[in-house]
Amino acid sequence: MSNSILVTGSEGFIGRALCRRLQAEEFEVHRFSRSLGHQILSEEAFRPFYDKPIGQVVHLAGESFIPTSWETPGPFYAMNTLGTQRVLDFCRRMGSRLIYFSSFVYGAPKYLPIDEEHPIAPLNPYTHSRWLAEELCEFYSQRFSVDSAILRPFNIYGPGQDERFLISQCVGQWKRGERVQVKSLTPRRDYLYLDDLVEATLLVIRNRELSGVFNIGSGQSYSVQEILTTLQELIGPTFTFECVNQERIDEVPETRSSSRLQTTGLWNPRVSLREGLTRILREGAIL
Distance CA 166, CA 44 (A): 37
Is the pLDDT at 43 greater than 90? The verdict is no
Could you write out the DSSP letters of every residue in 2-61? --EEEEETTTSHHHHHHHHHHHHTT-EEEEE-GGGT--TT-GGGGGGGTTS-EEEEEE--
The predicted pLDDT at position 286 comes to: 63
The predicted pLDDT at position 30 comes to: 98
pLDDT, tens only, 183-240: 999 999 999 999 999 999 999 999 999 999 999 999 999 999 999 999 999 999 999 9
| Rg of the Cα atoms in the chain | 19
Q: Which of 2, 161, 57 is nearest to 170 (CA)?
A: 161
Q: Which CATH class is domain 4-283?
A: alpha beta
DSSP tag of 220: -
Instruction: Give me the residue spans of the domains in the chain.
Output: 4-283
pLDDT band, residue 247 (cuts 50/70/90): confident
Q: Rounded to the nearest 10 degrees, what angle do helices 166-175 and 224-235 cross at?
A: 40
pTM of the model: 0.96
